[in-house]
Structure 1
Amino acid sequence: MSGAAFIAVDWGTTNRRAYLIEGGEVVATERDDMGILSVPPGGFPAAVAGLRERHGGLPMLLAGMVGSNRGWHDAGYVLAPASLADLAARLVSPEEGVAIVPGVCRDGDERQDVMRGEEVQLLGAVAAGLAPGDALLCQPGTHAKWALMKDGALADFITAMTGEMFALLKGHALIGSEMTGEVEADADFRKGVEASADRDLLSALFGVRAAAVLGRRAPGAAAAYVSGLLIGSDCRARITLPGQQVHLLADGLLARLYSAAIAIAGGQAVVVDSHASFVAGITRIWDIKA
């Protein structure tokens, strides 16, 4: 480990989290809602300068959507299988003292996929010993990532629009007005996960409307049920073996929902600290490039 201090930033679409790292240890953190969508045109240099000034002008290593074609500077993609060393070898420097980590892509004839930001956490979880070198990892969210790790590298992955589909259904679909109530890993959510076993998702979604019209589902229960349908469908598509272990990079509600769905789908969830994974991954990249 180089021990040189630096600022690591996980810069997403809606949020930004900065870590001041010295000797591999986090000594200060800062989080705000200054995601890339909140930065005005041409405003990235000033936003970066502000962060550096608040943390002693140290060099900075950025990851996430800041390196996308919608962010500050397109850092491109490394083709899977990819390792932390592969990412470190392809850093992009938009200005002196600042570097951006590239994303990872899958570019086969039959299927293409991309990730940006998650690769640092997924590889970092393995580097920190929070997940084994050969494992199935899941990072839930708006676009849930499922990653197959082999020999410590990110060998393959798939993205599911699980969270985004829930938001679209609630905001724009016929069943949206029925999707009231809180989402929690409760009985209604579990019923949705169990119903996802029928593998007829589109029919099951319309059934939400029918159940409401016919008075077969209590008011306030549909949101949790639909969440269970979507997350259950997502998990059942990835879990291929009885008792399959899934290392879950999540906390709070998402950890509870996916842990319950994975168990119902026949798997076993192992919750991993995603923030510790990011710090481990970004620090290893920093040390390799140094």
Structure 2
Amino acid sequence: MDDGGRVLATQRDDHGVKSVAQGGYPAELAALRHQFGHLPAIAAGMVGSSLGWQDAGYVGAPAELATLAGALTRIEGADFAIVPGVSLAEGHRADVMRGEEVQVLGANLAGLAPRTAIYCQPGTHTKWITVEDGRLTDFTTMMTGEIFALLRDHSILAEMMRGAVADGPLFREGLLRATSAQSILSELFGVRAAVLLGRLSRDDAAAMLSGLLIGSDVVARQIADETIYILADPALGSLYAAAVETLGGHATLIDSHAAFVAGIHHIWELQR
């Protein structure tokens, strides 16, 4: 990025926290600098977790970009800084995030959503985040994506989960069933029973399962008449947008990459 926050070059790869060997981060950074030049670097997300390069800790909510900038962890001799995560400890509730805070506060800063807004960041661990006047004040994590992956790959449903997941009649039916289910757990097994009894095609089972899980996720947020700003890739974002609209809310998709760029650049500017 240049001094004004304009992106000059981008590289994407699969070198996430689970694929970098212990002690391998200096080599990863060196490879990037070999390509882009010896520039100072700043990172957010799981690189700052106990599984990453160095644990960057957490700042407590409420938090804003200045809070994050004031609590960076610096890797000695590497000209490399890591943004802390955000934690929430309130009564019986305990929650944490890493990386999502930069996107959400960046979206807020860049005017991609109002200063006070509700965000949804779908993924392995979906985040529902409240920002009030530019401050991240509350959030909840739902293990929606991880549960879907576990059921798809390792449960009794696995043999039936090879169909595509896309917005359509079966996905929408799953959404609606989630609103009236006495138990989401019984509805999940009901997907298997419906296939065995010939009431549901194997090709449609994954879409139904996804609808049930995403529907239960959205229903729990009680989003009636609320506008939800969704930060996600187009495929997953469209599923959550459909869920929000079907279940009584209003959905607005936001460019998650533009949001991150705005947030990380502002943090860099604040700490210089």
TM score, norm. by length of structure 2: 0.96
Q: Tell me which residue corresponds to 2:211.
A: 228
State the Cα distance separating 1:102 from its structure 2 match: 0.3
- Answering whether residue 15 of structure 2 is matched by residue 39 of structure 1, we say no
Q: Is the 8 A contact 1:235 1:261 kept in 2?
A: yes
Over the aligned positions, Cα root-mean-square deviation in angstroms equals 1.1
Q: Tell me which residue corresponds to 2:37.
A: 56
Query: Which shifted more, 96-105 or 277-286?
Result: 96-105
Higher normalized strand content (fraction of residues): 1
Letter in 1 for 2:46: M
Alignment length (residue pairs): 270
1 CA distance for matches of 2:245 and 2:4? 39
SS in 1 for 2:218: helix
SS in 1 for 2:87: strand
- Answering whether residue 202 of structure 2 is matched by residue 212 of structure 1, we say no
State the Cα distance separating 1:52 from its structure 2 match: 2.0
1 CA distance for matches of 2:34 and 2:193? 57
Letter in 2 for 1:90: A
Query: Which shifted more, 277-286 or 51-60?
Result: 51-60
Query: Which shifted more, 214-223 or 138-147?
Result: 214-223
SS in 2 for 1:238: coil
Q: Tell me which residue corresponds to 1:198.
A: 180
Q: Tell me which residue corresponds to 1:17.
A: none
Q: Is the 8 A contact 1:178 1:208 kept in 2?
A: no
State the Cα distance separating 1:188 from its structure 2 match: 0.8
Per-residue deviation, residues 141-199 of structure 1 (Å, max 9, x unmatched): 01000001111111010000001000111112222222231000111100100110114
SS in 2 for 1:154: strand
State the Cα distance separating 1:254 from its structure 2 match: 0.5
TM score, norm. by length of structure 1: 0.91
Instruction: Show the 5 A alignment for 1:33-112.
Output: 33-96=14-77, 97-112=79-94
**Any unmatched runs of 5+ in structure 1?**
1-19
- Answering whether residue 141 of structure 2 is matched by residue 155 of structure 1, we say no
Letter in 2 for 1:289: Q
- Answering whether residue 100 of structure 2 is matched by residue 118 of structure 1, we say yes
SS in 1 for 2:229: strand
Moved over 3 A (4+): none
Letter in 2 for 1:43: G
**Any unmatched runs of 5+ in structure 2?**
none
Letter in 1 for 2:68: L
Q: Is the 8 A contact 1:192 1:232 kept in 2?
A: yes
Q: Tell me which residue corresponds to 1:6.
A: none
Q: Percent identity?
A: 53
Letter in 2 for 1:202: L
